[in-house]
Amino acid sequence: MQKMKPTVLILCTGNSCRSHLAEGILRAVAGDFLNVQSAGSKPAGYVHPLAIQVMKEVGIDISGHHSKHMDEFLKQPVETVITVCGNADQACPMFPGQVNRHHWGFYDPAHATGTDEEKLAVFRQVRDQIKMVFEAYADGRHDQMKSKAA
């Protein structure tokens, strides 16, 4: 019998930018051993076009993602919840089977102002910060799995 991959749920308020950046990155580096999902406490109903654009720049396609409410995950086992904004951290319920909870806050690039190029620069900066944190998290989870298997 194949063991189910543990679910990691990344939460944000709007589920339009940061949580999708994190979901795309974590899925790209750990999707073989983690079920990576994202949702919001007050979903915006769309994925921000600049989030899609900056992910495409690093070879990750999130254009098929959609904005979801965190309540969609209340009836399924969620092993780890990671909040990427303070509002979601405060609104976050406990999920069935939840073992871990992390809060790593990032600036919301949707609040960026200025020219299109200036806004894009903010999205890239946040993407790169998220990439660094979530790649390190994936490496740690991978090491943890290897040590359990040994």
Which residues are part of the catalytic machinery? Answer: 12, 85, 92
Burial profile 105-120: b = 16 or more Cβ within 10 angstroms, e = fewer: ebebbbebeeeeeebb
CB-CB contact of 59 with 40 (8 Å): no
What's the full length of the chain, in residues?
Answer: 150
Q: Which two tokens stand for residue 57?
A: 């720049």
Given the structure tokens 């969609």, which residue do they identify?
72
Q: How far is the CA of 62 from the CAs of 57, 91, 115, in angstroms?
A: 11, 25, 24
